[in-house]
Amino acid sequence: MLFTDVLKESKVFSSCYKAKYVSCSFAVCYFKRNKTAYNRFGITAGKKIGGAVQRNRAKRIIRAAYRKCEKYIPIGYDMVFVARKEILEKKSGDVEWFIMKRVIPLVNTAANADNKK
């Protein structure tokens, strides 16, 4: 990924869960400013989604969609995507639409608000 690092620390995931979010029927995206020159990205898929095969498929779908939309996301944010069970019926194009039409406008709004402060 071009401008993105992978989130692995539990405390960063927890802090993102307390920040702003946008959701749809198949995923939730939590995001917050991280004050670095790159984005950090994490995915969670709980056992409610299914076995390991289903959870890994959900992560692959989200990762593929994020990779296509990455260049449009403002730099300097932590983003955590939480997969829901309905994602197993979706393709990466559906998640890409969610990112482009719902997530990026909200992140841009937050970025503009942060720049005005």
Q: What's residue 1's pLDDT?
A: 64
Chain segment 61-104, per-residue pLDDT in tens: 999 999 999 999 999 999 999 999 999 999 999 999 999 999 99
CB 83 within 8 A of CB 44: yes
Does residue 91 lie in a domain region? Answer: yes
Task: Give the number of domains in the chain.
Answer: 1
CATH of the domain at 11: 3.30.230.10
CA atoms within 13 A on the CB side of 82: 16
DSSP secondary structure letter of residue 1: -
What DSSP element (H or E) covers 82? strand 77-83
Structural domain contains residue 114: no
Containing structural domain, residue 69: 4-102
Answer yes or no: pTM beyond 0.85.
Answer: yes
77: Cβ–Cβ under 8 A, 6 or more apart, which residues?
31, 32, 33, 34, 39, 40, 107, 111
Q: What is the pLDDT of residues 11-21, one digit of tens each?
A: 999 999 999 99
53 part of a folded domain? yes
